[in-house]
Structure 1
Amino acid sequence: MENGRSETLMTALGFDPGAAQLYSRLLPLTGWPCAAVAATLSASEGELKEEAAPLIESGVISCGETLTVLSPTAVVAHMLERAATRAQDAHDHLLKISQSVPYVAGTAARLPTTIGEEHPIDGEVIATEFTPETFERLVSATSGDMMWLRPAVTVHPSEMRFISVIEAATKSGRRCRGIYPVAALKHSPDVLRMRVEIGEDIRILPHVATHLMVVGSTHAMFPDPLGLVEQPLVNVRQRGVVEVVTCYFEELWHRALPAAELEELPSAERRLLLVELASGAQDEQIARRLGVSLRTVRRRVAELLEELGASSRFEAGVEAARRGWL
C-alpha cells in the first residue's frame, strides 16, 4: 500500500513512471549497501546508478557505500524546497536585469565592476506610453507565444484595441497567456471574461508584483524599476535575458490557478490561500492580496490546518502537495 502511494506521488511530482516504479522498489532497501541493492535488482552498481540517475540528480536518493532513500513525506518537502529555490533564483535574476539599463539606454553610465570586454545589451528603453499601435507592430514583426503579467487591469479606451490584437494573434495560432492578481476578478471581471472568450489563457495568483511581457524567444519587456508603473519600459532582445525572464514567468504560471477553476469554490479559495502560505506570506499580506479581512484569513488558515490534519503551516504545505492541491 505504501509503495502504491509513493508511485502516484512521484509521478505527480514530475518523475516518469519508470523512475517512480524504481523509487518504490528502492524505498524498502534504504540503508542497504549499494552493492547488495544492485545484486537484488540483478544489476551492477554502475547500471543501478545509471537507471536511478533522475532520482539521484533530484536528491531523492543517494548511492555511496550505502543506499539512502527519502521517505514520501521527505520527498515532498525536498521538492517544495527545490521549487522555492528555483523561483527565488529566477526572481533574483530578473531583479538584476535592471542593472543593465545604462547599457540599453546608451548612456555613459557603467556598472561598478566589469569582467572582460564590455558589450551593450541589445534593446532600448521606451519612455513613452506603450500603445496598441506599438503592441500591434511588435506582434506582427515577431512569432511564437506571448505571455504577460498584469498587476492591475485598468479599464480604459485602448483596452479593446489591445484585445483585438490578441484575438487576431490567437486566431493565427499563437498562444497568449496572462497572469493576473485575484483582485482583478473583483475589479475587472468583464475584461478578463472578454480575454478568455478571444482565446487568452488566463491564470490567477493572489498577488502579481510587476508588469512583464515576453514575446516568443526574442523580446522581454518590463518596467525599470520593476513594479506597478509601466514607464519607462525596457525592451530587451538579448537571448539570455529573454530566457531568464521566461523561466520566471513559467515558474509563476505553474503556481497560478487556472481561471476556469475559480468557479469551483471553495477549492479555489483554498488553493490561493495555500499558494500564499507556501510563499511564506504573513496573515496581513494574505488579507490584503486576497481582499478579505485579517480575521477571515486566520479563520480560513485554522480550518485548512484542521482539514489537512496538520499542526503547522509547513506540515500543511507538505500534506497539500501530497494530495495534489499545489
Structure 2
Amino acid sequence: MLEILGVSSAAESVYRAMLGKPELGVSGLAAQLGWSEEQVRGALDELARLSLVRQSDQRPGGLLLVNPEISLVSLLARQEVELTQRQQEITSGRLAISKIVAEYVDSVQNRRRVDVEELNGIDMVRVRLEELAHDCTSEIMEFTTGGGQSAESRQASKPIDQALLERGVHMRCVYLESVINHPQTVSYLDWLTQLGCRVRVAPSLPLRMVVFDRRAAVVPSNPDNTAVGALLLRGSGLVSALCALFEHIWEDAPPFGATRRRDEDTGLTSQARAVLSLLAQGHTDEVVARKMGISVRTARRITAELMTQLGARSRFQAGVIAGERGWLQGSVDGSAVPD
C-alpha cells in the first residue's frame, strides 16, 4: 500500500506493527513478525530515512513513531515535488520545439513567406542534402541519431563530407555514444576527424538534423521513421532555435575518442544517467533504446542495473530514489571538454 510512497513492504510491515504496539522494541518487533533482529533494524533504518520514525529522547537507542498525519503527508508531498520536477524536465526538453512552433505561427500570422519544403522519401532527401552541401560556404552543424550508421548511409555521406572539409567548411557533428560499439562507424569518424571535422558524442539526442550556414536546416518529418522523408526549414527564427539546441548539446558532449568518465558523485556513466533520465520521463525500454541507438536488450540490462544500484523494486521507485539523491539534476554528462 505504501510502496507508491517509496516504502518497501518490509518497512511497511514494521511500521504497521509499531502503529499497533508502539512500545515494542527491536526484539519485540522481531518476535511479533517472526523476523531476525537484523531484518527489523534494516526496516527501521529505512523508516528513519523516510522520517516515519525518530530517535527517542527518553530511551537511548529507542525509536518513536512520527505522527502519521505529519510524516505520511510530508512523504507524499516530497513525491509530489519529485513528480513536479520530472514534469519540469520534460517541459524544458520540449522548449526548443515550442520555440520552432511559435516562430512558425508568428510567421503565418504576420503573412511572412513560409519556407518549409517537404522532402518525400530518402532519395529526395539525399538529393537535397547534396545541393545544400554544394552551396554551403562556412559552417555545418549535425546531429546523427541511430547509433551505428549503415554502409549505404556512410557511402552516401563520404563524398559530400570530404568535399565540404576540403573547401574549408567548419563542420561539427554529434553522434550517439553507442557508435563506439560499431567498428565501421568508428572508422568513418576517425576518417572524418583526420580531415578536420570536430566530432563529439552524447548518450542521447533529441532528433536527427543538419544545419547549413545557420540559414537552412533539414529535420525528419517523422522522427520515429527518418526514411519517410524530411522537412527543409529556412528563416532566422526556425533555424536559430535549432542552432541554440545544437550549441546546448555540443557544450555538454565530450569529444569522440575521449575516455568515458563516471560521474564523481553518482558513479554513473553518462549512458546510464541518460537511461535514468529517460525512464524518469516515463519512456518505455523500446523508446529508450531508439533514442540512444542501443538494443532493447541493452536498455533493459542498464535499467535492471540501475534498479539494483538504487535498491528499487520498480521503475517508478527508481525514479523517486534517483530524484531524492539528486541524480536527475543537471546535464547528462558534465565532463564536456572544450574543443
State the TM bucket, normalised to the shorter chain. 0.5 to 0.7
Which of the pair has more CA radius of gyration?
Answer: 2
1:189 aligns with 2:186: yes
Determine if contact 1:209/1:227 at 8 Å carries over to the other structure. Answer: no
Secondary structure of the equivalent of 1:259?
coil
Secondary structure of the equivalent of 1:213?
strand
Distance of aligned partners of 1:156 and 1:315 in 2 relative to their CA distance in 1, 3 Å threshold: same
Deviations 1:214-246 (A, max 9, x none): 111211111213343144322122111111121
Q: Which residue of 1 aligns with 2:99?
A: 93
Write the mapping of 1:282-321 to structure 2, written as runs, cut at 5 A: 284=285, 289=292, 290-291=294-295, 292=298, 294-300=300-306, 303=309, 312-317=321-326
Q: Which residue of 1 aligns with 2:134?
A: 140
Q: Which residue of 1 aligns with 2:219?
A: 222
Secondary structure of the equivalent of 1:260?
coil
Determine if contact 1:286/1:297 at 8 Å carries over to the other structure. Answer: no
Distance 2:90 2:299 in 1: 27
Q: Which residue of 1 aligns with 2:72?
A: none
Which residue identity lines up with residue 125 of structure 1 in the other structure?
Answer: E
Instruction: Give the superposition deviation at 1:146.
Output: 0.6
1:122 aligns with 2:119: no
Q: Which residue of 2 aligns with 1:155?
A: 150
Which residue identity lines up with residue 259 of structure 1 in the other structure?
Answer: F
Which residue identity lines up with residue 225 of structure 1 in the other structure?
Answer: N
Deviations 1:59-100 (A, max 9, x none): xxxxxxxxxxxxxxxxxxxxx999875543113334x38x96
Instruction: Give the superposition deviation at 1:324.
Output: 4.8
Determine if contact 1:221/1:234 at 8 Å carries over to the other structure. Answer: yes
Instruction: Give the superposition deviation at 1:121.
Output: 0.9
Determine if contact 2:142/2:174 at 8 Å carries over to the other structure. Answer: yes
Determine if contact 1:87/1:248 at 8 Å carries over to the other structure. Answer: no
Which residue identity lines up with residue 155 of structure 1 in the other structure?
Answer: S
Distance 1:220 1:114 in 2: 17
1:206 aligns with 2:203: yes
* Alignment match of 1:166 (pick from 157, 161, 167): 161
Secondary structure of the equivalent of 2:205?
coil
Q: Which residue of 2 aligns with 1:277?
A: 276
Q: Which residue of 1 aligns with 2:43?
A: none
Instruction: Give the superposition deviation at 1:286.
Output: 5.1
1:180 aligns with 2:179: no
Determine if contact 1:223/1:229 at 8 Å carries over to the other structure. Answer: yes
Distance 1:283 1:224 in 2: 22
TM-score by length of 2: 0.53
Which residue identity lines up with residue 126 of structure 1 in the other structure?
Answer: L
Distance of aligned partners of 1:131 and 1:220 in 2 relative to their CA distance in 1, 3 Å threshold: closer
Deviations 1:137-167 (A, max 9, x none): 3223232321122222433356345223323
Distance of aligned partners of 1:114 and 1:148 in 2 relative to their CA distance in 1, 3 Å threshold: closer
**What do you get for the CA RMSD once the two structures are aligned?**
4.3
Determine if contact 2:218/2:233 at 8 Å carries over to the other structure. Answer: yes
Distance of aligned partners of 1:120 and 1:228 in 2 relative to their CA distance in 1, 3 Å threshold: same
Instruction: Give the superposition deviation at 1:190.
Output: 2.6
Determine if contact 1:132/1:158 at 8 Å carries over to the other structure. Answer: no
Distance 2:131 2:92 in 1: 34
* Alignment match of 2:245 (pick from 243, 248, 260): 248
Instruction: Give the superposition deviation at 1:304.
Output: 8.0
Distance of aligned partners of 1:269 and 1:159 in 2 relative to their CA distance in 1, 3 Å threshold: farther
